[in-house]
Structure 1
Amino acid sequence: MGQIAGLGISTQRGTFITWHKRTGKPFHNFISWQDIRSAELVRSWNKSLLLKVIHVIFTVLHFLTGNDRYLAPSFLTFSTQQTSMKLSWVFKNIPEAEEAAKKNNCCFGTIDTWLLYRLTKGSVYATDYSSASSTGIFEPFTKCWSPTLCNLLSLPKSIYPPVKDTSFNFGSADSEIFGVPIPIMALVADQQSAMFGECCFHPGDVKLTMGTGGFWNVNTGERLFASQRSLYPLIGWKIGKEVVYLTEGTISDIGTAIKWAQDIDLFTSVDETAEMAQSIADSQGVCFIPGLQVSVDGTYLCASFMGLKPSTTRNHLVRAILESIAFRNKVLYDTIVKKVHIPLQTIRADGGVSNNSFVMQMTSDLINKKIEKPANADMSSLGAAFLAGLASGFWTDKEQLKKLRRIEAVFEPQKDSEEYRPAMDTWLQAMKHSLHW
């Protein structure tokens, strides 16, 4: 343990907890990014006259000033996945948290902040720019917690942690925990960490993570693109004076759908799925529509198979599920190309589903781009290690990190994307039918 130069922490984004500043006692369990307890609050806000007025005001401000920071509020809608709405729910439903906040005794933290607080026995309370920007409460343009959103949702302004660099000496874990004090040299949100682990250091570098959900991230360098309806800006990392911005788009129900298919015995092992899909020429018109993790903004969306026939087999069902992942990758990629005006480089894929050769090859065909798969699919851990190593002096610059990259497989386009057009058109039509269940 004494030889460890530093510890890096990468954590799931959007999951948070609040606790009493003096006692350290939590007011509730962790509330995850999948939690939907704020559904009624979200519905109420999205139907409110106030939100419509906000849309008009910020549309006018954006038109008059041309400042992109006013663009996102001009079409702001709330969802159950947003930390802000769940935090608003906390202060409306947990009196102890509300009372503590009134007395400046309430702390808010995502998982990284809580771990840091606990590892240092309560002596360090902080987060980093990547995790802060992922809450939706932190303003990436001004790099501060948003007073506008706090006022709008009646969120206390005193509860948020100080925001530090991503690669930074946050202090040391208490020696009672590991036997020796270990310096904590990096805090980073998981998707940004995976981006760093993939060495996507330059504008136009693209990362695709396919795990429980799907995350497309584009390095936009020093340029911050305003939120658009399916894309939003994030701070990738801050190291000293360097601030790197990302544009992100997300897809729900990737690994979730595959796990569900396994649970209903469509296959025994996930490793079988690519071979099952490749064993048939097509899905025979069967379409799978995701929706297993529907949030309040998709209340009437159902998960479904469409186009079933007497001849449909398990292989057709499995292929339909895998095709749905590739089709959604194509839709989101096209949106990125249209809205992010930066030449995109090779895509680097990670996450458990990147081990599926069928999904990877079909995605490469559909977007007509080369996709690299690293030898290690868990890039979040590697990214945190890289960031901690830079802060501790184990590595001196990013060029050293690039030399450590190991590529296991490369997927290049093998079919014209137009060959998939009939199947994708059928899938898009099925998606429309599922929206009004």
Structure 2
Amino acid sequence: MGASDTSSPSKSADMAQSEEVFVGSIDQGTTSSRFLIFDKQGEPVAVHQEEFRQIYPNPGWHEHDPNEIVTSVENCIEGALKIFEKDGHKKESIKAVGITNQRETTVCWDIKSGEPLYNAIVWTDTRTAALARELKAREGSDKLQDICGLPISTYPSVTKLLWLLRNEEKVRKAYEAGNLAFGTIDAWLIYKLNGGPKNNVFVSDPTNASRTMFMDIHSLKYSDKTIDFFSYEFDLRKVHMPEIVRSADEKAFGKLTSGVLSGFPITGCLGDQSAALVGQKGFEPGHAKNTYGTGCFLLYNVGTKPVISTHGLLATVAYNFDGKPVYALEGSIAVAGSGVKFLMNNLGFSSQSHKISELAETVSDNGGLVFVTAFSGLFAPYWIDDAQGTMFGLSHHTERGHIARATLEAVCYQTKAILDAMEKDSGHKLSELRVDGGMSNSELCMQTQADLVSIPIVRPKMRETTALGAAIAAGFASGVWKTFDELKEVNTAGQTTFQPKMSAKDSAKMFKKWERAVSMCKGWVAEEEKEEGDEQAAKELSEESKKEGQVAASL
């Protein structure tokens, strides 16, 4: 082979290297943060993950340290870049960074100092159950869902903000001084990654803003009507809220101001469940995905007009890339992977999550056991704030395998209930359901899901779809991809399809038992709070009687 021949592969390699294009993705979840770097074919080439503390001050309370979240993200960027560069890639080939994040989790900070005023209250937190009931009892509460797409519950950010204003002195003082900033995790992260108060990049995209109850889902602007409704105790117009911008934007999200990617633009942002729908390429009406993460979230693309549910679902924004928003119906399940973690951490079943699925496979069925995993009440389509986790059907026959199996089945039952509600709201039955998230790794769980919903379950080989969705948003804004057609072949090879195997009769029988269990797990929290309220009222009455007696005696 001549000299001219040996030089051409080297030139081709150099050219290929110079033409490499990558997009970074910050995936800020409930239990960990990650940074992934995707190539133009949608394949992750580097990833770094870091868990952070889960803070549980009281039963039903769930908090995060907001500064710890930011630090974990910065550490993940650094860690992934080391892997990326070690593999021979240049960081200059990363064209943009996208963000996806846990939704509803609420942060309050001082707009002048940029410092948080309290821990972030996590989306799973149920301390606001009594407040939610109080708000539901107010005149006009039944009209809010038509505006913002959400019912009043412990889930949206608004109840968390009101609780903080009522109960935390630092938050109230900042409010009174006119310095209170409120945002979901995307707004907090973008603000801090852009240097905080120095640059004051304070924005949120519609997929996140729609989870607060403050945004009009039709106009994608803050709603005077909802803000007025919730301002009965505090004037929420005095609170600094982020500007609502498109999910893909070349300039609105600013740029990283420190670390190894300092100066690199942030051009995309999507709440985690919308990001998963985008990552599953659910761009057409009728496409649906279910993400089995800490919680479980099923999104169904309904097109360019929101569908306000009459069957217990949420209306949300799927994405807004070009100023023409696309909407989704959503069913949210509070406990999915966290149910598996409960068996691991609280009951000592195993130290590895995949072992729970293996344990469930040691028994042929659930042994008559039904586990309603209502650790944070029940979300869609039930919306029962006063439910608590309850096991039905325990007997001498019950083994650890039955409990493991019933824990996996609880997620599948709730998914079935959501799909039934979606069929009623949309008038269409799904032909298939695309899945991702940690629990989708369980063959038993996915087969059970297919059996219960009686449609095929399609699981992609590469299941980092949430992070991929954020990368796609950033990539559209920065010109890496220009049309949805370019993404058609992304992440299609090696997918697994689970076909239903159970008879419709047996499936219906199992689901009927679940529905009966749900009806029996209500009222625990409400009854307890009523008893506490009665005791407090009796105590106050007794004190008042004593005072009256003392006054009478002095006379």
Matched, 1:272 2:359: no
- 292 and 178 in structure 1: CA distance in 2 versus 1, 3 angstrom threshold: same
- The one of 159, 177, 202 equivalent to 1:125 is 202
After superposition, give the CA deviation of every residue in 1:99-152 in whole Å (9 maximum; x if it has no partner). Answer: 544554332221111111112213221111111112222110222112112112
CA distance in 1, matches of 2:514, 2:146: 35
Give runs of aligned pairs for residues 219-298 of structure 1, distance below 5 A. Answer: 219-263=301-345, 264-267=347-350, 269-294=352-377, 298=384
* CA root-mean-square deviation: 2.5
Please, which of 88, 93, 96 is the counterpart of residue 6 of structure 1? 96
The code of the aligned residue for 2:290 comes to L
Aligned to 1:364, what secondary structure does the other structure show?
helix
Q: Which amino acid aligns with 2:353?
A: V
| 8 A Cα contact 1:364 1:371, kept in partner | yes
Q: Is the CA contact 1:18–1:27 (under 8 Å) kept in the aligned structure 2?
A: yes
Q: In the alignment, which residue of structure 1 is the partner of 2:430?
A: 344
Matched, 1:167 2:167: no
- Structure-1 residue corresponding to 2:265: 183
SS of 1:157's equivalent in the other structure is helix
- Of 497, 515, 526 in structure 2, the residue corresponding to residue 428 of structure 1 is 515
For 2:154 and 2:167, locate their aligned partners in 1 and report how far apart those are by CA, in whole Å: 16
8 Å CA contact 2:274, 2:318 repeated in 1: yes
Residue from 90, 94, 105 that aligns with 1:15: 105
Question: Which is worse superposed, 76-85 or 9-18?
Answer: 76-85
Give structure 2 stretches of 5+ with no counterpart.
1-90, 525-555
The answer (yes or no) to whether the contact 2:276–2:469 under 8 Å persists in 1 is yes
The structure 2 residue matched to 1:411, chosen from 489, 494, 498, is 498
- Mark the CA change 1:14 to 1:299 in structure 2 (over 3 Å): closer, same or farther: closer
Q: 1:421 to 1:156 in 2, by over 3 A?
A: closer
Q: Aligned pair in 2 of structure 1 residues 139, 366: CA closer, same or farther (>3 Å)?
A: same
How far residue 267 of structure 1 moved from its aligned partner, in angstroms, is 4.3
* Cα displacement (A) at 1:178: 2.6
Deviation at 1:204, TM superposition (A): 0.2
Of 136-145 and 308-317, more deviation after overlay is shown by 308-317
Give per-residue Cα distances to partners, 1:365-387, cap 9 Å, x unaligned.
22121111112223211111111
Cα separation, partners in 2 of 1:101 and 1:346, compared to 1, 3 Å: same
Amino acid aligned to 1:93: N
Decide whether the 8 Å contact of 1:19 with 1:107 is kept in 2.
Answer: yes
In structure 1, runs of 5+ residues without a counterpart are: 60-67
Letter in 1 for 2:292: M
Is 1:108 matched up with 2:171?
no
Q: 8 Å contact 1:79–1:295 — kept in the other structure?
A: no
| 2-structure distance, mates of 1:361, 1:150 | 44
Does 210-219 or 318-327 show the bigger shift?
A: 318-327
- Corresponding residue of 1:145: 222
Q: Tell me which residue corresponds to 1:156.
A: 236
Task: Provide the rounded CA distance (Å) in 2 between the counterparts of 1:89 and 1:275.
Answer: 42
Query: Relative to 1, partners in 2 of residues 1:308 and 1:37: Cα closer, same or farther, differing over 3 Å?
Result: closer
- Alignment of 1:324 with 2:410, yes or no, is yes
Alignment correspondent of 2:546? none
Query: Which residue of 10, 31, 44 maps to 2:121?
Result: 31
Rg (Cα) greater in structure: 2
Classify 1:373/1:80 alpha carbon distance in 2 versus 1 (closer, same or farther; 3 Å): same
The Cα of 1:436 is off from its aligned counterpart by 4.4
Please, what TM-score do these two structures have when normalized by structure 2? 0.71
Partner of 1:431, secondary structure, is helix
Aligned to 1:45: 135
**In 1, distance between residues paired with 2:314 and 2:518?**
23
Q: 2:473 aligns with which of 387, 391, 401?
A: 387
Query: d(CA) in 2 for partners of 1:83 and 1:223?
Result: 24
Cα distance, 1:153–1:414 mapped onto 2, change above 3 Å: same
Between the two proteins, what is the percent identity of the paired residues?
A: 28
Structure-2 change in CA distance of 1:314 and 1:139 (3 Å): same
Confirm whether residue 217 of structure 1 aligns to residue 299 of structure 2.
yes
Greater shift, 262-271 or 248-257, is seen at 262-271
Q: How many residues align?
A: 421
* Residue number in structure 1 paired with 2:163: 89
The separation in 2 between residues aligned to 1:258 and 1:271, in whole angstroms, is 9
Question: What is the identity, as a one-letter code, of the residue corresponding to 2:242?
Answer: P
For the 8 Å contact 2:148–2:213, the answer to whether it is kept is no
CA offsets 1:65-104 (integer angstroms, 9 cap, x no match): xxx93696xxx86322221111112223345544544554
Change (3 A) 1:216 1:175: closer
Are the aligned partners of 2:129 and 2:386 in contact in 1 as well (CA < 8 Å)? no
Q: Structure 1 residues 314, 399: closer, same or farther in 2, change over 3 A?
A: same
Matched residue, 2:7: none
SS in 1 for 2:236: coil
Residues 198-217 of structure 1: pairs in structure 2 closer than 5 A: 198-217=280-299
Other structure's SS at 2:366 match: coil
> 1:13 touches 1:135 (CA, 8 Å); kept in 2?
no
Query: Would you say the 8 A contact 1:346–1:369 is kept in 2?
Result: yes
- Structure 1 residues 71 and 142: alpha-carbon distance in aligned structure 2, compared to 1, 3 A threshold: closer
* Counterpart Cα distance in 2 of 1:361 and 1:96: 50
Mapped partners of 1:428, 1:232: distance in 2:
21
Residue correspondence of structure 1 range 344-363 to structure 2 within 5 A: 344-363=430-449
The 1-side partners of 2:261 and 2:323 are apart by: 35
Instruction: Give the Cα–Cα distance (whole angstroms) in 1 for the partners of residues 370 and 354 of structure 2.
Output: 21
1:226 partner SS = coil
1:193 to 255, 268, 275: 275
Distance 1:178 1:308, change over 3 A: same
Superposed CA offset, 1:376-412 (max 9, x none): 2232111111111111111121111221123431111
CA contact (8 A) 1:285 1:423 kept: no
Aligned to 1:64: none
Aligned-partner Cα distance in 1 for 2:141–2:153: 16
What's the counterpart of residue 388 of structure 2? 302
Q: Structure 1 residues 180, 99: closer, same or farther in 2, change over 3 A?
A: closer
TM-score normalised by the chain length of structure 1: 0.88
